[in-house]
Amino acid sequence: MVTLYTTFPSAAGRTPWEFRERLIQEAKWAEAAGIRGMLVYSDNTLLDPWAAAQLLIENTVRFVPLVAVNPVYMHPFSVARMISSIGFLQERQVDLNYVIGGFPRHLRELGCGLDHDRRYDRLTEYAEIVQQLLDGDRPVSYEGEFYRLSHATVTPPLEPGLKPGVFVSGTSDACRTAQQRLGVTRLAYPREIGAYGEGTPLVDSGFRLGIIARDTAEEAWAVAHARFPSDPLGEEVHEIAAETVESQWHLGLSRDAFQSHAPKDTYWLYPFRAYKTFCPYLVGTYEQVGKLLARYLALGVSTLILDEITEEADLHHSMRALRHAQGETS
């Protein structure tokens, strides 16, 4: 069974009222389609993800925010207390996506000088503390390199049924080490299917991607090119941005996109290459997209995060392709 999320919409070019209405609308569309929740980013330039999560919860019935958590923004005790408070006040669940931040300038703004791998060391301690606090069996004392707690307790305790699903984002060896230590699912972005080899190298993994599927490939590609037309300026911006990012997933996809952003069957990197989104797209008929999705699922992928919803019908089309994929793997 695949766990599905959508992606938080952009606030760019929208008034506060327009953005609230759009966010609520997309959440309701996704909830009606049976999707578990929505990925909420965390970044120096974006809305506070906890405030956004609260808005999502207040305007849906079962929808689960997947909140990106970066240690530079909040003490682990505050994260645990936020989750327990939402659980008590709203009787709702929040999932967590642990990230280390990919823009060095943003980290320097907040006084973080740790290198890439050391940030994963800190992230591991951070996530362990949050988990121990939410378990609530006894006061938590923790002696780590980055954090120390002495008999800390979060109250009110979180109901066991509301404990968060937990993810860690990245593709580096340091991220994989953190994933193994925490025993969680690792989120990344799909490379072209031929990059993965045999076996199940993606076990306990999730992908973020976009889907444009229709009855015919011609119709799907017409929609794709209308949404993501050629944009030389966007390509230039991506090249500049790639020089300032140290996230290995971003660098890996960028290398692929710079070499060729022409479609490889249904796999398409141009929206990423043109700096319009941060994930690849799968484009084609329901059967074509479903077959490629099935190959990723066979490699061990258990979670899919769909790119931002353009219109409600996108969810219908995506779910049809996913049903093809699940039929291929059943």
Domain of 324? 205-300+317-330
Residue range 43-81, pLDDT digits in tens: 888 899 999 999 999 999 999 999 999 999 999 999 999
Q: Is 141 domain-assigned? A: yes
**Backbone phi, then psi, for 244, in 5-degree steps?**
-110, 0
CA dihedral angle for residue 195, residue 119, residue 184, residue 56, rounded to 10 degrees: -100
The answer to whether residues 183 and 223 belong to one domain is no
Going along 8-128, which residue ranges are E strands?
A: 37-40, 64-69, 95-98
**Are 247 and 322 within one domain?**
yes
Domain for residue 197, yes or no? no
Apex CA 117: angle with CA 112 and CA 118, to 5°? Answer: 50
Grade residue 103 by pLDDT with cuts at 50, 70 and 90. confident
Q: Give residue 218's identity as a one-letter amino acid code.
A: E
Tell me, yes or no, whether 242 and 286 share the same domain: yes
The yes-or-no verdict on residue 330 having pLDDT over 60 is no
Q: Which of 144, 160, 188 is the last residue of a domain?
A: 188
Instruction: Kindly indicate the confidence band of residue 119, based on its pLDDT and cuts at 50, 70 and 90.
Output: very high
Residue 153: helix, strand or coil by DSSP?
coil
Provide the pLDDT for residue 252. Answer: 76
Q: Is the dihedral of CA 188, 193, 196, 201 positive or negative?
A: positive
In the prediction, which pLDDT does 259 show?
A: 80
Residues 6+ apart with CB under 8 A from 210: 271, 277, 279, 280, 281, 282, 306, 307
At 68, give phi and psi (nearest 5°). Answer: -75, 130
More confident residue, 200 or 106: 106
Q: Per residue in 176-229, pLDDT tens? A: 999 999 999 999 999 999 988 877 789 999 999 999 999 999 999 999 999 999
The pTM (predicted TM-score) of the whole model is 0.93
Is residue 327 located within the same domain as residue 255? Answer: yes
Q: Which residues of 18-53 are buried (b: 16+ CB within 10 A; e: fewer)?
A: ebeebbeebbbbbbebebbbbbbbbeeeebebbebb
Q: 204 vs 74, 188, 298, 303, CA distance in Å?
A: 27, 11, 12, 8
Give yes or no for a contact between 211 and 150, defined as CB atoms under 8 angstroms apart.
Answer: no
Q: What is the pLDDT of residue 283?
A: 97
Same domain as 106, residue 52: yes
For residues 233 and 221, the answer to whether their CB atoms sit within 8 Å is no
Q: What mean pLDDT do residues 17-33 have? A: 97
Q: Which pLDDT tens digit goes with each residue over 124-182?
A: 999 999 999 999 889 999 999 999 999 999 999 999 999 999 999 999 999 999 999 99
Number of domains in the chain: 2
Residue 249: which pLDDT band, with cuts at 50, 70 and 90?
Answer: low
